[in-house]
Amino acid sequence: MIKLGKKKGYRLIGANRLGFNFIFLRNDEGVDVFPEVGITHVLKDLSALEREVDPAVFTFPFVSEA
């Protein structure tokens, strides 16, 4: 999703509390208010990490660090 968002001109700015709805914003909107964050930053702040995340997930070609 992050790679597709970047390709389409969007950046990751957050996610819902459970970590399954990522929030993207166009690159030309709200840059000073909503900075881009990386996937690990989003997941570490969520209860999603209370359950185990397989490290192999980060090796998939469609998952990238932002």
39-54 confidence digits (pLDDT tens):
887 777 655 545 566 6
> Which parts of the chain register pLDDT below 50?
49, 66
| Cα–Cα distance for residue pair 14/43, rounded to 1 Å | 9
How far apart CA 56 and CA 52 sit, in angstroms, is: 12
How much is the pLDDT for 10?
96
Q: 3-state DSSP: the chain helix, strand, coil percent, rounded to 5? A: 35, 15, 50
Phi–psi pair at 21, nearest 5 degrees: -120, 105
User: What pLDDT, on a 0 to 100 scale, did the predictor assign at position 25?
Assistant: 95
Domain coordinates of the chain in residue numbers? Answer: 2-59
Decide if 19 contacts 42 (C-beta within 8 A): yes
